[in-house]
Structure 1
């Protein structure tokens, strides 16, 4: 970690047009942290829209600046359109929180793994993977992308989508006393939309936690009044996790470590939902041993099947996941790409010192060009969820190999062997 102090650079967004001069004087301001490699792009885009850029502070490749709440969505559009990042920045309520996030980010770049990675739970892995069905994934994507015009974090439809998902996951877990589903409520000033968390209690190592996540909210870069179906971004990730839950229950999977499956609120405007949860877990001492993020998995834009994001992730866990692909998904090709600072919810966990990884649908710049528009629908993938299947199987295998434990089939096999 470098020890350079924060220095001033020209980036603070300030009012520069009569329209902004007439904006309410008490509009909420927030602090963001953003990669310094995005500064010139952000500067140019905002200037083209009549706004100037003033001071910010930077350290170790990350800048901290203050913006108005209403500018977060505009910044998200810039980051997506110009740099293929989603969201590409992290929102903070205070300057102190933003500066602390930069310090944490700098200090965890070479974070060592917290567990020993082994591939020895093949019976459970294969049992879970064999039950994954494209039709179920497709059905969840369809519901999430068509039942509401948008799943935007600060609209009632976004709240309704979260309540529907909680109900859906609760139904899937029916009959399992070791599984619970809850809403993680955020301050209304941060996100009226809650996050959804399903917990499968670990049998022998309940205090060690494995997290699988995706984000529930959707956004249209043209504004809040436009439809945001978000089929790929990120109904696909939520649908994959929903299918993991279904097959886990269907196969009687009981993990040794506790598994938490999360659908985050407000990812699109600065990773707010995952940021709050990761910070809460860190402050309360939750021992998270690994995090997997699924964000955009249903569009195949590259010749490779799965692309691992190498930056702001854990190298040891990335290797573990690549090994899972090699062993359990023969014929599936994989490579790596870089995504930049704060490009999805894995960054929230990484910045808190947890091992996080994100397998992605394509090399950066070759991913789904329709996200953040009214055209992010299943029609862009020929009406199927075929590309999501391999990611869903990977998520199930990751869960079974990191959380360990057994399925009913595995337990029956063990009992049969013991009786011989």
Structure 2
């Protein structure tokens, strides 16, 4: 038997590992914009668009309609983490793509929302109600509680959607929200199981007194990544997006501590697998659309604890609802006049609000910065120490979320327009 030299043995083993990796790689279809496509082609020079079209990306700050070219591409799923990491560093947001079940599914996702769906979404009256309890409740939010939630979530080895730690993080969040809900019969906490990966989304529902008034959804993603993430890769994800979950959880705590009972049904959601192509939110939003659910507003909190630019909150204007964005600005002026509000853009599929927007639901995305968001995103250095250690920036988003939930949710003394 001939003897292998060390070099030849190394080459042989390397080839075996590459073959094994290739054998486990699964082709998937994704939709992505121009910026993400350029990043993908740097990673995989063979990547080509199988279908391209120009879609409505919302309105710019001056009211002009924005359009963006979006592409359908087939790639190996083993490259998705690397792509999300590249997009995040190229434009400050991610993942920048949406994963689909097939070419037909991907192509269908780029078709315009049916006119009847768009018309229904335009019926919501976004009028600030000046609910008297909001100002009182806003004073009850505490940054220290946000620090506690960020610390707990970032303490998991990672929260990646395929790992045992990602599963445990979902279980932990479900338990926290169940404890906040206590014994209230009008509140339910469930874990939404997904096909193809073990991490579950978490959904807390406060059942409204008037089912015909519709539903409000407030969400953030519970997973984390550093690009190529495996079982024991360290990925704290303190800002991305433990901060968003923490801001929402503190708003939820105050609502329930005051025994808030809305007219509209309100759902708080911790989405699974955002970093892998909006998988969790896509499945949930598609289910809501299939059930013809009347969702009157969606608020996404993804990265809330790094103040990299002069203004306090930046409303993303692409792939969001202009009327609801104006409403959020007016909410801040009414209840949080100390905050300065700006606008920014983040491109195609930059967070979970895009899943709801694609289904024709009005969605908004208040973000932590404009051009200078946290530089440690998707690294082992995305820790509380490298954002706002006291979570005072994240507190602003928690307050906005509470004002949004109560003002739009209504109560027994507040008329809700259908």
Match of 2:279 among 236, 261, 272: 272
SS in 1 for 2:75: strand
Residue 166, structure 1, aligned to residue 174, structure 2: yes
Q: Which consecutive residues of structure 2, in runs of 5 or more, have no partner in the other structure? A: 1-13, 55-68
SS in 2 for 1:91: strand
- Contact (CA 8 Å) 1:35, 1:89: kept in 2 or not? yes
Residue 69, structure 1, aligned to residue 77, structure 2: yes
Which structure 2 residues correspond to residues 397-408 of structure 1 after superposition, within 5 A? 397-405=403-411
Residue 376, structure 1, aligned to residue 379, structure 2: no
Distance 1:243 1:206, change over 3 A: farther
What is the deviation of 1:320? 0.3
What is the deviation of 1:25? 3.9
Alpha-carbon separation, structure 1, partners of 2:121 and 2:140: 34
In structure 2, the partner of 1:4 is none
SS in 2 for 1:320: helix
Residue 89, structure 1, aligned to residue 97, structure 2: yes
Alpha-carbon separation, structure 1, partners of 2:223 and 2:202: 11
Match of 1:41 among 25, 39, 42: 39
Alpha-carbon separation, structure 2, partners of 1:105 and 1:236: 32
What is the deviation of 1:20? 5.7
Deviations 1:280-316 (A, max 9, x none): 0000111111000000000000001000000000000
Deviations 1:73-109 (A, max 9, x none): 0110111112222111111111111111111479899
Distance 1:27 1:40, change over 3 A: closer
Alpha-carbon separation, structure 2, partners of 1:375 and 1:265: 22
In structure 1, the partner of 2:124 is 115
Alpha-carbon separation, structure 1, partners of 2:346 and 2:404: 22
- Alignment length (residue pairs): 384
Task: Report the TM-score when normalising by structure 2.
Answer: 0.87
Residue 137, structure 1, aligned to residue 146, structure 2: yes
- Contact (CA 8 Å) 2:84, 2:227: kept in 1 or not? yes
What is the deviation of 1:241? 1.2
- Contact (CA 8 Å) 1:153, 1:266: kept in 2 or not? yes
Deviations 1:196-243 (A, max 9, x none): 000000012466100000000000125435311011000011111111
Match of 1:394 among 379, 383, 400: 400
Cα-Cα RMSD: 2.2
In structure 2, the partner of 1:417 is none
Distance 1:382 1:319, change over 3 A: closer
In structure 1, the partner of 2:22 is 24
Residue 149, structure 1, aligned to residue 135, structure 2: no
What is the deviation of 1:22? 6.1
Residue 53, structure 1, aligned to residue 51, structure 2: no
- Contact (CA 8 Å) 1:111, 1:314: kept in 2 or not? no
In structure 1, the partner of 2:288 is 281
Distance 1:110 1:379, change over 3 A: farther
Residue 292, structure 1, aligned to residue 299, structure 2: yes
Distance 1:321 1:55, change over 3 A: closer
Distance 1:206 1:243, change over 3 A: farther
Alpha-carbon separation, structure 2, partners of 1:130 and 1:179: 24
